[in-house]
Amino acid sequence: MAVVGDIVGPVAIERVAHGGHCVGRWEGVVHFVRHALPGEQVMVKVTEVAKRYVRSDVVEVVQASPERVTPRCSVAGLCGGCDWQHAEPAYTRELKRQVIAEQLRHLGGYTWEGAVEEVEPAPFHWRTRMRYAATADGRPGLKAHRSNRVVPLPPEGCVAAVPAIANPGRLAGETIAVAPGKGRPVLVGAEQQVLVEEVAAGRYWRVSSNGFWQSHPQAADTLVQAVLEGLEPRADEVAFDLYCGVGLFAGPLVDAGCQVWGIESDAEAVRLAGINVSEGAEFLAASVARGLDFLPRDADLVVLDPPRVGAGARVVASVVARQPRRIAYVACDPAALGRDLGYLAEEYQVLGVRAFDLFPLTHHVECVAIFERR
């Protein structure tokens, strides 16, 4: 087997895989290759060796895919930001569609035939939140893939970021840059915390600069609309907003006439949720698995918006025990959605799954799945 640093190939690229790379083989060994496309023949540099596979990166394209393009950014492929700048933007959504379909089929036993929906702005100048690092001489940069090595920004700045925060100037350490929905851009140290104000779902939202808020400027509205259309909330229903953050889904559910309970492990986010949604909702700072024990024993609607690892069997079982009529699952990882879909399948049917390209030219994608009690 090759060792780290070896250049081998040509590797025949077979298909896309979850995580921003493609699967190929060379001399019987599986390669997870970054910056390749299905159908290509590429020479690769080995970057990591495991027992049953290696990770590698393209150094030469021997036979190119017709979907390959020249990246717009001069450091594409060096920094860890964009996975797919070397592909036609529409084709990147097709690659994500293939990944979602495979994960839902393999892990959840569900056949998905949808498409990944484009959301403007795309494919550049969409990130309203950035975490920059500094080079030794203070130049702004981004960390390389799976590394702490800092890759300096090109002169034009980051093409994924909105122009207001695309080139932050000289830095001292890691820095958070935010272009909020209301007010001026904010540039603060990663360990500092200031409040910014976002606008979504007809409300204003106070969010910490280092707290969670979607990076795409249309993401919050897009996801809220998909969740509400799927749940069809009714006045006086009881709704849970689990992994609620600063209350993004709780607010619109209150506006629809629901009584809402929210749970979030981040105490600062819970404090802000109580300010953002000051009436019609109660919020608890706790892990969702533990916090559910303190919520009502019955619920009509549940929103699950878990982190990348998913909700898990324990949380899903506790939700199912409430017998809500509908569940909306917002997933940033199709593998986690597939696993949790399998846990729900016995008592809930899938009404539909929508996928949104809220992270253009990366492997990330957001899905909203709607479940109804059988």
- The burial of 63, by beta-carbon neighbours within 10 Å (0-12 exposed, 13-18 middle, 19 or more buried), is given as exposed
Q: Are residues 236 and 271 in the same domain?
A: yes
Mark whether 116 and 13 lie in a shared domain. Answer: no
| DSSP-assigned letters across all residues of 179-243 | --SBS--EEEETT---EEEEEETTEEEEEETTS---SSTTHHHHHHHHHHHHH---TT-EEEEET
pLDDT digits (tens, 9 = 90+) for 136-150: 999 999 999 888 899
pTM, two decimals, is 0.95
Same domain, 342 and 313: yes
> What tens digit of pLDDT does each residue of 242-280 get?
999 999 999 999 999 999 999 999 999 999 999 999 999
* Count of domains forming the chain: 3
Distances in Å between the Cα of 137 and the Cα atoms of 50, 76, 140, 153, 171 are: 35, 22, 9, 13, 9
311 and 190 inside one domain: no
Answer whether residue 205 is part of any domain: no
Domain assignment present for 81: no
Residue 75 lies in a domain: no
- The residue among 171, 200, 229 that closes a domain is 200
Least Cα distance to 116 among 99, 132, 130 occurs for: 99
pLDDT reported for residue 51: 87
Q: What does the pLDDT read at residue 80?
A: 87
Examine the domain organization and report whether 181 and 299 are in the same domain.
Answer: no
pLDDT score recorded for residue 172: 87
Check if the beta carbon of residue 119 is closer than 8 Å to that of residue 359.
no
pLDDT band at 37 (very low <50, low <70, confident <90, very high): very high
User: Which residue range forms the structural domain that includes residue 269?
Assistant: 92-121+213-373
| Nearest residue to 39 via CA among 67, 60, 58 | 67
Asked if the model's pLDDT at residue 236 lies above 90, the reply is yes
H/E run at residue 343: helix 334-344
3-state secondary structure of 308: coil
Domain boundary among 177, 200, 223: 200
**For 161-190, what is each residue's pLDDT tens digit?**
999 999 999 998 899 999 999 999 999 998
Does residue 7 surpass a pLDDT of 80?
yes
The residues, ordered by sequence, that sit 6+ positions from 48 with a Cβ below 8 Å of its Cβ are: 4, 54, 55, 146
Q: Which of 142, 174, 200 is the last residue of a domain?
A: 200
Task: Give me the pLDDT at residue 199, please.
Answer: 97
Q: Is the pLDDT of residue 1 over 80?
A: no
- Which residues are known catalytic residues? 332
Each residue's pLDDT tens digit, 194-220:
999 999 999 999 999 999 999 999 999
Q: Are residues 355 and 315 in the same domain?
A: yes
CATH code at position 49: 2.40.50.140
Q: Which two tokens stand for residue 318?
A: 């506790």
Same domain membership, residue 158 and residue 16:
no
